[in-house]
Amino acid sequence: MSGHDSKYFSTTKKGEIPELKEELNSQYKDKRKDAVKKVIAAMTVGKDVSSLFTDVVNCMQTENLELKKLVYLYLINYAKSQPDLAILAVNTFVKDSQDPNPLIRALAVRTMGCIRVDKITEYLCDPLQRCLKDDDPYVRKTAAICVAKLYDINAELVEDRGFLEALKDLISDNNPMVVANAVAALAEIQDSSTRPIFEITSHTLSKLLTALNECTEWGQVFILDSLSRYKAADAREAENIVERVTPRLQHANCAVVLSAVKIILLQMELITSTDVVRNLCKKMAPPLVTLLSAEPEIQYVALRNINLIVQKRPTILAHEIKVFFCKYNDPIYVKMEKLEIMIKLASDRNIDQVLLEFKEYATEVDVDFVRKAVRAIGRCAIKLERAAERCISVLLELIKIKVNYVVQEAIIVIKDIFRRYPNTYESIIATLCESLDTLDEPEAKASMIWIIGEYAERIDNADELLESFLETFPEEPALVQLQLLTATVKLFLKKPTEGPQQMIQAVLNNATVETDNPDLRDRAYIYWRLLSTDPEAAKDVVLAEKPVISDDSNQLDSSLLDDLLSNISTLSSVYHKPPEAFVSRVKTAPRADDEEFADTAETGYSESPSQGVDGASPSSSAGTSSNVPVKQPAAPAAPAPMPDLLGDLMGMDNSIVPVDEPTAPSGPPLPVLLPSTTGQGLQISAQLVRRDGQIFYDISFDNGTQTVLDGFMIQFNKNTFGLAAGGALQVSPLQPGTSARTLLPMVAFQNLSPGAPSSLLQVAVKNNQQPVWYFNDKIPMHAFFGEDGKMERTSFLEAWKSLPDDNEFSKEFPSSVISSVDATVEHLAASNVFFIAKRKNSNKDVLYMSAKIPRGIPFLIELTAAVGVPGVKCAVKTPNKEMVALFFEAMESLLK
């Protein structure tokens, strides 16, 4: 749609849908085109225009490419909610896939791939096979991506029809964009498969390296990322790969540059020539430096990647430390990353420059940045022994400016410097003691107390200094109390005079009698017993020589670092976590098709289109659910009920159900209604069940996110049986990677919807961390069959005769089989369908049964079938004709 098409969004007439219907069926092409644009505009702003499905599909028969694109866009959006009607479009898709125009051929196959409906998928295979061998490269590259989409819908079909082999053949295509798309599709399929599908050989390697020079930038990224998985046979092959990839370092696209750097770093592990390695390090520096002149967000991503690179190969950027100096207008997140890299690149050669920068940063206005800068000075002192004295001089200068948080941070890092270089810089203790009164942060206090205790013999008034802290001992945080206890014991052991003796008595008394902290109390008892039994042993323990510390606080484990380097230019290298730590990927289990809400306009879901969600079909996804009850964390006290947020969105009037303590019912896996891919990591599985005469909603939550989910609430839209929550939704805060399953009691006839009976149950679920999730479930009518449904034989006959013949209905269940009459009777009795009598008719058994739903509505049932032969005829008489369709649906599911 072009820029002047905004007028299509402004129609708000009362009879908009009928008017659009009329325009879509107009004999004039322009009028039909305008009508489709209005439909797309309405769909875009969240209005439900699914009722126009047939009329829009009729507009597909056109030569106008723009109109065809719009109709296809509509189809992609609504085919999931109208799968039966979507079949009407299949013939046009197949016909378009053979159109002379390559754009239309590609459009047809792309659209069919985007429609996640099984019935459409069956028809997609033949056009897709043709398009994979099409003469036009644009069609071939589109078909390649379509194979990946089809694999996501039906993996077995893709393998059976040979699409994977066809994709692999496309790697040898003479068009580089076809090669790039084939690689992208294979890589995507490989990521979701547990077995090897895409393996690069020396033959495909040369094909990919050749295509690399002529691809678009994103094609290059796909190829480079795939090449990074290839392990060269020897140093010569590694050098050859690096030589072919190195020109990509000059690319304008940051993703291409980082992907090229990733390959070079990985291949350098195999290169034995030090000259080659040195030259490669020199070549990688300029492109990495160039990335730092981009926008702040790109700078941040580049810096996170550079952080990993310099840990592995610091020589690459050893001479480029100046580019990491912070600018006044850098965002704080960029400044923090630059500081980290400067510490890693600091050396005896550049330390003077670095310290000048850090000293400048320590006078900035951003407190967090200042603290980090002061800490960076201390880390440089610990890292570089020759520069330690210069670092301490800078720290003392900063202490003299008397800025409270600077002084406190300086004392913390000086304590670490004392541990790194014992008995070297103790002459500065007097300067530190001058700032004693200004300390108010626990870590700074603890550091100062440690210094006083460690060097008590060199501080004349050490007892007085410690005594000033002891006055507030009970109110101090645990960190300070523990340090005070140890420092007082050290003072007593070094100066066993009367003053320290009284102090130690007071501290031990406080720490053992008046504290609730078990760590403090246990440590105090150990010291007390040591001092009372063997003071010399206490000296050996408390005053023992301490191990020298080193600055490894931000060095990653070598195996983790190698893992992250192989994921450069991905989220993994930004988070500094391996992919499996924050991404859960489902491996090739075929997914059930999604369903969308059909009645969006009536329920008001369109008010919040960004939060609307596809729910998986309960019937089709039951086999793929894998919810197992797991041990749940202890539930906190139930919070107060939340305001009725869902009611506004869904037009419901049943009350919100607050969180309560959880129960964890066991049972078979539940159908997945909200897949984790749709629920931002949250998967919801549920179904209605009947237990002990009560209807429950058996619901399971699987938390695949990285955060705790809590505050779960649920509501049900108006429905045929008026189902509503009859109690509290019992789900405790859900930790990442755990699941919870609970039974929610339900009440009927509270929330009735007008209109024809329907098995549709629309559900909304909300938690405190995510938007409202909507999904569809089906109401199994047999959950309403009551335990009082059994009739005496005479009562059954009387009721059958009393009902007129037009209240009798019958239906064939062709796929149902009765293997054993007794087993079927027992199975149906478990769902409150009760046996009355049996007779023979030719070679078939005829069973008479009864069931009853609430409000005393009986169903008189006659089942006719030959044992072991497919096909069951079900006849029913009931006073309530409207419920017959739902009854047959329930009986068919029970007889499966």
The tens digit of pLDDT for each residue in 803-816 reads 888 888 888 888 88
- Residue 732 pLDDT class (50, 70, 90 cuts): confident
pLDDT band at residue 655 using 50, 70 and 90 as cut-offs: very low
For residue 325, the 8-state DSSP code is S
* 634 vs 411 pLDDT, higher one: 411
Percentage of the chain beyond pLDDT 90 is 23
What does the pLDDT read at residue 341?
92
If pLDDT is split at 50, 70 and 90, which confidence band does 610 have? very low
Contact 548, 422 (CB under 8 A): yes
- Pick the range with the lowest mean pLDDT from 252-261, 642-651, 674-683: 642-651
Beta sheet of 739-747, edge-to-edge order:
672-674, 682-691, 694-703, 739-747, 724-725
Beta-strand ranges (E) seen in 670-711 are 672-674, 682-691, 694-703
Reported confidence tier of residue 554, pLDDT bands at 50, 70, 90 = low
Residue 557 burial (C-beta neighbours within 10 Å; 0-12, 13-18, 19+): exposed
Q: Which two tokens stand for residue 544?
A: 């023992």
- Is the model more confident about 372 or about 596? 372
- Vertex 14: Cα angle to 12 and 19 (nearest 5): 90
Q: What is the pLDDT of residue 309?
A: 92
Nearest alpha carbon to residue 606 among 75, 80, 81, 45: 45
Instruction: Say how far residue 835 (Cα) sits from the centre of its chain.
Output: 50
pLDDT tier at 600 (50, 70, 90 boundaries)? Answer: very low
Question: Helices 254-268 & 558-565, crossing angle to 10 degrees?
Answer: 130
pLDDT for residue 631: 37
- CA 194/CA 217 separation, integer angstroms: 29
pLDDT band at 360 (very low <50, low <70, confident <90, very high): very high
Task: Say if residues 761 and 774 touch (Cβ distance below 8 Å).
Answer: no
Nearest Cα to Cα of residue 647 among 699, 603, 610? 603
Q: What is the mean pLDDT of the chain?
A: 82
Question: Which of 596, 556, 592, 593 is CA-nearest to residue 576?
Answer: 556
- Name the nearest CA neighbour of 253 among 208, 296, 290, 297: 290
Q: DSSP assignment of 715-755, as one string?
A: EE--BTT--EE-S-B----B-TT-EEEEEEEEESSSSB--S
pLDDT at 2: 56
Say what the pLDDT of residue 649 is.
32
What number of other Cβ atoms are within 10 A of residue 754's Cβ? 6
The vertex-568 CA angle with 565 and 571, nearest 5°, equals 120
Q: How many helices (H) and strands (E) does the chain have?
A: 38, 15
Asked if pLDDT for residue 567 goes beyond 60, the answer is yes
Name, of 22-36, 79-93, 654-668, the range with top average pLDDT. 22-36
Give ∠ CA 342-552-456 in degrees, rounded to 5.
105
pLDDT(506) > 80: yes
Q: Give residue 139's pLDDT.
A: 93
The pLDDT of residue 332: 93
Kind of pairing between the strands at 615-616 and 594-595: antiparallel
- Which residue matches tokens 């058996």? 698
Q: What is the CA radius of gyration of the chain?
A: 37
What pLDDT, on the 0 to 100 scale, is given for residue 539?
86
Task: Read off the pLDDT band of 618 (50, 70, 90).
Answer: very low
| Distances from the Cα of 830 to the Cα of 787, 825, 875, 880, angstroms | 10, 9, 20, 24
Of the listed ranges 176-190, 295-309, 373-387, 716-730, the least confidently predicted one is 716-730
pLDDT of residue 323: 92
CB 599 within 8 A of CB 49: no
The fraction of the chain above a pLDDT of 70, given in percent, is 89
Confidence of residue 647 (pLDDT cuts 50, 70, 90): very low
Flag the least confident range among 11-20, 42-51, 154-163, 540-549.
11-20
Residue 103 and residue 138 in contact, taking contact as beta carbons nearer than 8 Å: yes
Determine the average pLDDT of the residues in 73-79. Answer: 83
Pairing of strands 694-703, 682-691: antiparallel
Average pLDDT over residues 355-380: 92
**Closest C-alpha to 447, from 427, 475, 473, 469:** 469
Q: How confident is the model at residue 202 (pLDDT cuts 50, 70, 90)?
A: confident
Say what the pLDDT of residue 620 is: 36
787: β partners: none
| Position 842 confidence tier, pLDDT thresholds 50, 70, 90 | confident
Band the pLDDT of 752: cuts 50, 70, 90. confident
* 447, 407 contact by CB (below 8 A): no
Task: Please tell me the predicted confidence (pLDDT) of residue 306.
Answer: 93
> Given a cut of 70, is residue 651 above it in pLDDT?
no
Q: How confident is the model at residue 666 (pLDDT cuts 50, 70, 90)?
A: low
Q: What pLDDT is recorded for position 665?
A: 58
Cβ-based neighbour number of residue 203 at 10 Å: 9
HEC letters along 446-472: HHHHHHHHHCHHHCCCHHHHHHHHHCC
